[in-house]
Amino acid sequence: MNYPEQLSTLDSSLPDETAAMIEKIIEAWSLLKTRQPLVQCITNSVATNYTANILLAAGASPAMIDNPFEAESFSSICSALSINLGTPTSEQMQAMQISAETAQRLAKPWVLDPVGYGPVLKWRSDMVDALLAFQPSVIRGNASEIGGLAGAQVESKGVDSTLDSTAVYAQAKSLLAHAECIAISGESDFILSRQLEQVVQVNGGSELQPKVTATGCALGALIAAYAAVSPVTIATIAAHVHFAIAGKLAHAQSSQVGSFNVAFIDAIFSLDADTIREHADLKFLAP
Amino acid sequence: MNYPEQLSTLDSSLPDETAAMIEKIIEAWSLLKTRQPLVQCITNSVATNYTANILLAAGASPAMIDNPFEAESFSSICSALSINLGTPTSEQMQAMQISAETAQRLAKPWVLDPVGYGPVLKWRSDMVDALLAFQPSVIRGNASEIGGLAGAQVESKGVDSTLDSTAVYAQAKSLLAHAECIAISGESDFILSRQLEQVVQVNGGSELQPKVTATGCALGALIAAYAAVSPVTIATIAAHVHFAIAGKLAHAQSSQVGSFNVAFIDAIFSLDADTIREHADLKFLAP
Amino acid sequence: MNYPEQLSTLDSSLPDETAAMIEKIIEAWSLLKTRQPLVQCITNSVATNYTANILLAAGASPAMIDNPFEAESFSSICSALSINLGTPTSEQMQAMQISAETAQRLAKPWVLDPVGYGPVLKWRSDMVDALLAFQPSVIRGNASEIGGLAGAQVESKGVDSTLDSTAVYAQAKSLLAHAECIAISGESDFILSRQLEQVVQVNGGSELQPKVTATGCALGALIAAYAAVSPVTIATIAAHVHFAIAGKLAHAQSSQVGSFNVAFIDAIFSLDADTIREHADLKFLAP
């Protein structure tokens, strides 16, 4: 079953391919619950508590070690690393470099979330550029951040924040030179991988998710948690599916942001194999 | 209709005056939802997540950029700025000065929340004194902080924390030399403005609000958000009314602090014009 | 009524002894609600908001003053101090030393929570060792942290994180040379005190508590709050009983972590004398 080229943005998933991926997601989820991997998070001041609670709810063991004096020894024993540039301090910036270098050297999976990447926030953007040298396993961000980063690494295209994730994913392919997976969050999420010919589109979630702060930051850390127990591509897709299902189920519980957020954490926690099979909504898009 | 001097603490609102203000509040609320202004918050470690969630629920776009290396460029593009002295770090202190200077230079509204102002906490109090040079649009605090700040700027009066907001608002007038509005939080809130002969009293809220940390801090940021889309005086009153209504409605949902807090965020989010008209409780007090 | 040596891990409580302790806990709880003591918390970035909310719900007045420039003056006026090593910064490290020294000098109760103590996290572990010189009133941690600290102070025993709190409490006795009480958190909590021949075991809680981040950190701060209004041993036991009851009641409300956490804060807030009498579950173990 082949789709003609002009239908490339339509669903080109083979039913078997999607079903096989869902079983792999279930396996990754099960391993996350069982192994409770230790995930180091260097993250922003808005996201620390929320990220830790999301990781705990999902089954991982978070540790927010973000000082330069303990970064190397801790990155040496953790199972995965998540670096988020939301509200960096000078000490965190040093820790990021040490931990990213350590993760690369020891072949541990690590996720880079270039929050706010762009010309206005030069200090962090320069650090993001520098961190690319340590070859993150996954780069995750919204369309503006990923588009900006892709543009900056190739040529400046004046990418602005009005770009949606559909428009940016073609451009994002260039970032596969720096990372095994690129994940772009939006109304639908798009995941590019060196391992896949196709782009994976993950649907679901809720329009309330962007109304709760730090959900994207926590998603980056959850990718790291999954990557501690499964291959990077599966991990990236699994984390996005986990979030998308939780957002959908939480919205069914409440359409108010405060209650939605409580229900969202509940749904992250209560996910199981049947729920994944019933609600996972992903498509393989022709390249 | 004139009130004799001795009735000055009673309600001197003309019904038309109150009704007109409520319509202006509704207009400000509507603009906040529509324009989703970008609000820079330099705030304390307790308040970051909560403040971001309150701003998102109200319709604004928060950004917690608080490092000195990106402060100038970010303050140049944001629509309003909120500075809160709760748990300052040396880097935040530098960022506060740069951002306040930038906001003043570019005529952007900015709110100063002098948390803990007083002789015990000299480092931050000296910074608050210095920040007054950049002419905040609004200074917001509890009676102790505002009374202390007013006393320190005029003469030391040994203001202590037992002062309530009613007692302090006369004294606070002197601070209008430094800011367009002064807001004093308490069981009732009092707002003084260069634009108004009278003092505005906002009632409502819940006695549970002080049992949830960072509500005052988030209120300061919400004033900034409103000031991004409406005149400073309207913005200050609107933010207080928004909070007072949400507190009242949340308390009707739950009398336990954990559940109250969830309901409070729900109520910040679900506010609408009819709710404002039904529940806004404000008075104009004779000067 | 004497128990033979081989029954030493069984309940050796005299009914009167337990009942008398419960009345002392109730008295401590009542004083906490009435006096609302000012508690300084130098804590980690994950725990700040949660700790403040737990203290407020319990009746205390939290203040997260954690910079070295205000540490001495604030520690001089607060009623108790809580130091937590979760995510230290250089400025916090300086503040910890100043505040601990001030608390000792002025004979104010203070609690040390050596989060992550062990050879991997040397920077903080060295600081914990140094802080012992200022004689904390209480050292609180999980079995791995307390076991590690006990081992490091006596001799290195290669204590690992698989130790449970039952196994570690004998070893922890050596730490009574440094602090009046030692509290070990786990499925059951164990409290050792210079004032008690026996070890106090506190039961209750919920297996969901470890799934909510920063609960242990908040417990450390709650011990400090209780110690501001009651003797250190009573305070330590009371805080653990308060948490254990709240965890048990919250779990009866919800078995999902997000909702559980909301219910937990509600239960911290709504505790009263009857609830303590009905649900307190503590035992005195023969030494």
Q: What is the DSSP string of chain A?
A: ----GGGTTSB---HHHHHHHHHHHHHHHHHHHHH--EEEEE--TTTHHHHHHHHHHHT-EEE----TTTHHHHHHH-SEEEEE-SS--HHHHHHHHHHHHHHHHTT--EEEE-TT-STTSHHHHHHHHHHGGG--SEEEEEHHHHHHHHHHHH------TT--HHHHHHHHGGGGGT-SEEEEESSSEEEEETT-SSEEEE----TTGGGSTTHHHHHHHHHHHHHTTS-HHHHHHHHHHHHHHHHHHHHHH-SSHHHHHHHHHHHHHH--HHHHHHH--EEEEP-
Tokens of B195: 């634009």
pLDDT at C12: 55
Whether the CB-CB separation of A206 and A250 falls below 8 Å is answered with yes
Q: What does the pLDDT read at residue A151?
A: 86
For residue C276, the domain's CATH number is: 3.40.1190.20
C56 touches chain B (CB under 8 A): yes
For the segment A222-238, what is each residue's pLDDT rounded down to a tens digit?
999 999 999 999 999 99
Residue B57 has pLDDT above 70, yes or no: yes
Residue B2 is assigned to a structural domain of this protein:
no
Q: Model confidence at A1, in pLDDT bands (50, 70, 90)?
A: very low
Nearest to A123 among B62, B69, B269 (CB): B69
Q: What is the pLDDT of residue C13?
A: 64
Q: Is residue A2 part of a domain?
A: no
Q: How many CB atoms lie within 10 A of CB C109?
A: 28
**Window 16-45 of B, Cβ < 8 Å to A:** 45
Q: Where does the pLDDT of residue B153 fall: very low under 50, low under 70, confident under 90, or very high at 90 and above?
A: low
Residues recorded for chain A: 287
Hey, of C124, C213, C253, which one would you mutate to test binding to chain A, going by the most A CBs within 10 A of its CB? Answer: C213
CB contact under 8 A, B212 and C49: no
Contacts A213 to B, Cβ<8 Å: 49, 52-53, 56, 62
pLDDT of B12: 56
Query: Of the candidates A269, A265, A195, which has an alpha carbon nearest to the alpha carbon of residue A21?
Result: A195
Distance between B284 CA and the closest CA of chain C, angstroms: 33
pLDDT for residue C121 is more than 80? yes
Q: What is the pLDDT averaged over residues C231-259?
A: 98
Indicate the pLDDT class of residue B1, thresholds 50, 70 and 90: very low
State which residue of chain B sits closest to C50, comparing Cα positions: B46
B/e letters for B213-243, b = 16+ CB within 10 Å, e = fewer, are: bbbbbbbbbbbbbbbbbbbbbbbbbbbbbbb
User: Residue A12: pLDDT above 70?
Assistant: no
> Taking residues B32-58, what's their average pLDDT?
98
Identify the domain containing residue C102 by its residue range: 5-285
Q: Residues C148, C118: contact at Cβ < 8 Å?
A: yes
Q: For residue C65, which residues of chain B lie inside 8 Å, CB to CB?
A: 87, 116, 121
Rounded to whole angstroms, the Cα distance separating C244 from A3 reads 60
Task: Tell whether A257 is within 8 A of chain C (Cβ).
Answer: no
Classify residue C214 as left (phi > 0), alpha (psi -120 to 50) or beta: left
- Which residues, including other chains, have CB under 8 Å from residue B200's CB and lie 6 or more apart? B21, B190, B191, B192, B193, B237, B282, B283, B284, B285
The phi and psi torsions of C47 (rounded to 5 degrees) equal -100, -10
Please state the rounded mean pLDDT for residues C280-287.
90
What pLDDT, on the 0 to 100 scale, is given for residue C155? Answer: 44
How far is residue B21 from each of residues A275, B18, B194, B202, C218, measured CA to CA in Å? 50, 5, 16, 12, 43
Q: What type of residue is A182?
A: I
Task: Give chains near C: 3+ CB pairs under 8 A.
Answer: A, B
Burial of B1 (0-12, 13-18, 19+ CB in 10 A): exposed
- Among B123, B213, B261, select the one facing C67 at the smallest CB separation: B123
Total domain count, chain A: 1
In chain B, the N- to C-terminal Cα span, in Å, equals: 15
B254 is in an annotated binding site: no
CB pairs under 8 A between A and C: 84
Task: Quote the percentage of chain C above a pLDDT of 90.
Answer: 85
Does any CB of chain C come closer than 8 Å to the CB of residue B86?
Answer: yes
Residue A232 lies in a domain: yes
- Minimum distance, in Å, between the CA of residue C156 and any CA atom of chain A: 19
Determine contact: A273 vs chain B, CB below 8 A: no
Establish if B252 belongs to a structural domain: yes
Q: Is residue B211 part of a domain?
A: yes
List the single residue in B with minimal CA-CA distance to A260: B266
Q: Which residue is listed with tokens 């015990």? A: B120
* Local confidence band at B168 (pLDDT 50, 70, 90 cut-offs): confident
pTM for the full model?
Answer: 0.93
Predicted local distance difference test score (pLDDT) of residue B242: 98
Q: What was the ipTM of the complex prediction?
A: 0.92
Residue C256 has a CB neighbour count (10 Å cut-off) of 20
Predicted local confidence at residue C165, as pLDDT? 64
3 state SS of C52: helix
pLDDT at site C170: 75
Sign of CA dihedral C250, C256, C259, C264: positive
pLDDT tens readout for residues B6-37: 334 445 566 789 999 999 999 999 999 999 99
The CA angle C67-C71-C73, to the nearest 5 degrees, is 140
> CB–CB of A236/A42 below 8 Å?
no
Domain membership flag for residue B179: yes
Residue of chain B minimizing CA distance to C259: B259
B64 is in an annotated binding site: yes
Q: According to the annotation, is A64 in a ligand binding site?
A: yes
Interchain contact C270–B (C-beta under 8 A): yes
Looking at residues A149-169, what average pLDDT do you find?
Answer: 59
Whether A180 is covered by a domain: the verdict is: yes
> A171 or B23: which carries more pLDDT confidence?
B23
Spatial CB neighbours of B108, under 8 Å, sequence gap ≥ 6: B75, B78, B79, B80, B81, B102
Please name the chains neighbouring B, where neighbouring means 3+ C-beta pairs under 8 angstroms. A, C
Chain B hits for C265, CB-CB cut-off 8 Å, are: 256-258, 261
**Nearest CB to B258 within list C52, C74, C266:** C266
Candidate from B45, B67, B265 with C-beta closest to A123? B67
Q: How far apart are the first and last CA of chain A?
A: 15
What is the model's pLDDT at position A98?
A: 98
Q: How far is A217 from chain B (nearest CA, A)?
A: 12
- Measured between beta carbons, the chain C residues lying within 8 angstroms of A79 are none
**Is-contact C39 C62, C-beta < 8 A?**
yes
Least CB–CB distance from B74: residue in A44, A47, A120 = A120
- Per-residue pLDDT reduced to its tens digit, A177-188: 999 999 999 999
Task: Please tell me if residue B46 touches chain C, with a CB cutoff of 8 Å.
Answer: yes
Three-class secondary structure of residue B43 per DSSP: coil
User: What value does the mean pLDDT take over residues B188-208?
Assistant: 96
Q: Which residues of C touch A73 (CB under 8 A)?
A: 120-122
The arithmetic mean of pLDDT across residues A157-161, rounded, is 38
In a domain, B51, yes or no: yes
Q: Where are the beta strands (DSSP E) in B125-188?
A: 138-142, 181-185
Instruction: Find the mean pLDDT for residues A108-137.
Output: 97
